Structure 1
Amino acid sequence: MDTAILPLGTVIRRQADSDEQAIRLWLHGKSAHSQRAYTSDIERLRSFVVRPLPQITLDDLQGFADSLADLAPASQKRTLAAAKSLITFSFKIGYSTFNVGAALTVRKPKNTLAERILSHEDITRIIEREDNPRNHAILRALYETGCRVSELCGLKWRDVQPRDGGLAQVTIFGKGGKTRHVLVSQRLHEELCRLRGSSGTDAPVFPSKSGRALDQPAVFRVIQGAAKGAGIEQRVSPHWFRHAAASHALDNGAPISLVKEQLGHSSLEVTSVYVHARPTDGLFKFLNR
């Protein structure tokens, strides 16, 4: 079987015989949402660089990076990160002899998080003006739990457990295969109970008309319709509720460790971006006027 030479003289057996096999191994274990996004990114790469992965050069990757100029900065970063990840993986499994992706620089895009944090008043208006019970509960659940849209769609009734005082505990299985438990209000718990009816423990918390779990595009439509009904001109997505939950909680004195745990961030550094996105002080207070 073919082998590839790794640093320090390590030898690894070749684990793939084609691009398709290497890509399939690379995608294994990733969420359905991530697989769709990564597949799209890699298809773009392979359309631009028409040669097998082991033959891709740094010049190819740099040309590919330049070809992404028409994309938003964040999309450029994600696409290049996917390309680097696949090329690194193909090297680690012995399919490629060299890891040319390691030499590609991915520039950080401008941080536009502040533009996607709605005020507490805007969030409240979006929620309260939604008169469809299911959709209203979706909005409140996104805000109170700070969950991702994929996590919301995956919720089943067994994930919602009552707690003392009318509260409820929601178990969320999310990104990176991590499980977290979040506490939600009595108000949201009561809304969910009214929606449940006779649904069994394995039924989706937020079903479509067919009875199956809502898919992500459907949730996007719910959010955008509710935002439009509240007079919000921006193109609001479900993730904006996650941003708002983190930012508003920190503004109101929540421990940053609690926000980190509830949102499922990998580190406090990730959570701290919300602090920097909405500063509470300014130099103007200390300058001569």
Structure 2
Amino acid sequence: MAPLAAREAFLDWLARERRASPETVEAYGRDVADLLAFLSAHHGGEPDLAALRLADLRAFLAYRAGLGIGAASRARQLSALKTFLRFLVRRHGLAPLPLGGLSGPRRKPPVPRALTEDQARIATLDSAEDSPALAARNTALFTLLYGCGLRISEALSLNMRDAPRAGLGLRVLGKGGKERIVPVLPAVEAAVEEWLRHRGPATPDAPLFTGAKGGRLDPAVAQRALRDLRRLAGLPEHATPHALRHSFATHLLGGGADLRAIQELLGHASLSTTQRYTGVDQAGLLETWRRAHPRAD
């Protein structure tokens, strides 16, 4: 099949059988067109898809990288091209390529987005709730996330027996069943105690944070509560429960805490995961320098 006819057949299949959105069809069409144009220039004539090799695809990705195309865009484009080639194998008898041996560019993990100290203070002290009990619950939860660096799932898995006490370590069960001990600030204990005054007595194995019907609080409800506060208080869009954990790490780092100590507090298996926060902190330091240095302009 001629290259252009193969492209048109592929796009028709995407639209009719896969019911892909017009935007997806258009994007995949561009991706295939980019490959065909490269192959024409690379081989000096109309490309023969039956003779396509992994080396051709690697050369194409290297060419795109040389144009300054980012790793995420190149990885997405490679995924589209693999779909195109598998379509040709299934529908038009193209000899299969060992595409499993072709790995895309490694995507850099996103840099965590932390709140400023003032924004974190608003998120942990204010509330969009009219109910004093719900306001106390949300304040306690968000103070715990920011004060102890917990994941939302870790905080919501706590039971009454786990209620944090200042001066005592809070035992947290993290990813993969890995246990860690984190210190508890007096502000965290005070916020949780205020919530428990509204919650009332419960058995030791009852959930620490409950929803409207008394069951364990759903993460989506907590996320919605912070989203409502975000809109009410003018907090940035990245003000989420997980951003409070990021802020815990970033503010500790900015205060001079050791990176390995932060790794232990966060429960990261690898130090490289924790090291992403150094980029956040350096960006903050640079912005401070730009604002404060008399010769920054």
TM range (shorter): 0.5 to 0.7
| 3-state secondary structure, aligned to 2:181 | strand
| 1:27-42 → structure 2 map (5 Å cutoff) | none
The answer for the alignment partner of 2:107 in structure 1 is 109
The whole-number CA distance in structure 1 between the counterparts of 2:250 and 2:119 is 13
The whole-number CA distance in structure 2 between the counterparts of 1:104 and 1:215 is 40
The whole-number CA distance in structure 2 between the counterparts of 1:217 and 1:135 is 13
The answer for the alignment partner of 2:122 in structure 1 is 125
The whole-number CA distance in structure 1 between the counterparts of 2:263 and 2:252 is 11
Q: How many residues align?
A: 195
The whole-number CA distance in structure 1 between the counterparts of 2:184 and 2:261 is 13
> Are the counterparts in 2 of residues 126 and 229 from structure 1 also a CA contact under 8 Å?
no
| 1:159-238 → structure 2 map (5 Å cutoff) | 159-160=162-163, 162=165, 166-196=166-196, 197-238=200-241
The whole-number CA distance in structure 2 between the counterparts of 1:161 and 1:248 is 21
The answer for the alignment partner of 1:244 in structure 2 is 247
> Are the counterparts in 2 of residues 160 and 171 from structure 1 also a CA contact under 8 Å?
no
Q: Following TM superposition, by how much is the alpha carbon of 1:190 offset from its aligned partner in structure 2, in angstroms?
A: 2.2
Question: With structure 1 as the length reference, what TM-score do the two structures score?
Answer: 0.58
| 1:44-123 → structure 2 map (5 Å cutoff) | 73=72, 103-113=101-111, 116-123=113-120
The answer for the alignment partner of 2:45 in structure 1 is none
The whole-number CA distance in structure 2 between the counterparts of 1:139 and 1:155 is 14
- Unaligned 5+ segments in structure 2 are 1-53, 58-71, 80-97, 130-134
Q: Following TM superposition, by how much is the alpha carbon of 1:241 offset from its aligned partner in structure 2, in angstroms?
A: 0.9
More strand by share: 1
Q: Following TM superposition, by how much is the alpha carbon of 1:267 offset from its aligned partner in structure 2, in angstroms?
A: 2.0
| 3-state secondary structure, aligned to 1:171 | strand
More helix by share: 2
The whole-number CA distance in structure 2 between the counterparts of 1:148 and 1:104 is 35
| 3-state secondary structure, aligned to 2:213 | coil
> Are the counterparts in 1 of residues 164 and 189 from structure 2 also a CA contact under 8 Å?
no
The whole-number CA distance in structure 2 between the counterparts of 1:250 and 1:184 is 18
Q: Following TM superposition, by how much is the alpha carbon of 1:169 offset from its aligned partner in structure 2, in angstroms?
A: 2.7
| 133-142 or 117-126: bigger deviation | 117-126
> Are the counterparts in 1 of residues 151 and 242 from structure 2 also a CA contact under 8 Å?
yes
> Are the counterparts in 2 of residues 171 and 182 from structure 1 also a CA contact under 8 Å?
yes
Q: In structure 2, what residue type is equivalent to 1:210?
A: K
The whole-number CA distance in structure 2 between the counterparts of 1:135 and 1:208 is 11
> Are the counterparts in 2 of residues 160 and 169 from structure 1 also a CA contact under 8 Å?
no
Q: Following TM superposition, by how much is the alpha carbon of 1:193 offset from its aligned partner in structure 2, in angstroms?
A: 2.3
Identity of aligned residues (%): 27
Q: Following TM superposition, by how much is the alpha carbon of 1:126 offset from its aligned partner in structure 2, in angstroms?
A: 2.0
- The higher radius of gyration belongs to 2
The answer for the alignment partner of 1:262 in structure 2 is 265
Q: Following TM superposition, by how much is the alpha carbon of 1:127 offset from its aligned partner in structure 2, in angstroms?
A: 1.9
Q: In structure 1, what residue type is equivalent to 2:279?
A: H
> Are the counterparts in 2 of residues 117 and 244 from structure 1 also a CA contact under 8 Å?
yes
**Structure 1 residues 69-111: Cα deviation after superposition (integer angstroms, max 9, x where no partner):** xxxx59x89xx9xxxxxxxxxxxxxxxxxxx786241433355
The whole-number CA distance in structure 2 between the counterparts of 1:187 and 1:117 is 20
| 3-state secondary structure, aligned to 2:194 | helix
> Are the counterparts in 2 of residues 146 and 263 from structure 1 also a CA contact under 8 Å?
yes
- Unaligned 5+ segments in structure 1 are 1-58, 63-72, 81-99
> Are the counterparts in 2 of residues 118 and 244 from structure 1 also a CA contact under 8 Å?
yes
Question: With structure 2 as the length reference, what TM-score do the two structures score?
Answer: 0.57
Q: In structure 2, what residue type is equivalent to 1:128?
A: L
